Amino acid sequence: MKKIAILNGPNLNRLGKREPEIYGTATLKDLERLVRAEARQLGVAVKFFQSNHEGALIDAIHAFADAGIEGFIVNFGAYSHTSIALHDALKSVGRPAIEVHISDIKKREQFRRHSMTASACIGMISGRGFPGYVEALRRLASL
Ligand code: CA2
């Protein structure tokens, strides 16, 4: 069975609590339920990890890769726009990753429009809400 890790970065544990006009009203737990349901259909094993800390996300990438994870779905939150270290962490494990953003970062503030981490990924899905994660899972499952 293919194994995929879903990594969520800073503040994504606050989903559903504020800014519903941008991120909706559903929570991170709801997102996990949605992705798990799709994973069952696809016959893929999924692992979830969320952290507000850059180093913890880097450690998780290394640990998941060493444990045999074959692909990553990543939403590094605001670290997407700043973190060369997370870019390098994805490069260091050499597994396909797809970056997901719930909101459309290209249509938001200037400082969100560029992703530092996307160039370490095989694709980016931005602005499609939670279904973006489901789409990313389908793409990785089909590789
Ligand atoms: O659109 C996305 O998925 C983002 O990665 C979400 C990040 C943001 O920094 C990125 O630019 C785009 C923010 C994560 C969640 O932030 C919250 C803010 C208010 C209430 C709940 C979550």
> How many angstroms does the Cα of residue 55 sit away from the middle of ligand 1?
19
pLDDT band of 18, cuts 50, 70, 90: confident
User: Of 7, 4, 30, 2, which Cα lies nearest the Cα of 77?
Assistant: 7
Question: At residue 75, does pLDDT exceed 90?
Answer: yes
Residue minimizing CA distance to atom 5 of ligand 1 = 77
Question: At residue 101, does pLDDT exceed 90?
Answer: yes
For range 20-33, the mean pLDDT? 93
Q: Residue 70 has what pLDDT?
A: 98
User: Of 1, 3, 4, which Cα lies nearest the Cα of 98?
Assistant: 4
pLDDT band of 97, cuts 50, 70, 90: very high
pLDDT band of 19, cuts 50, 70, 90: confident
Which single residue is written with the structure tokens 């996990």? 32
Q: Residue 24 has what pLDDT?
A: 85
> How many angstroms does the Cα of residue 85 sit away from the middle of ligand 1?
19
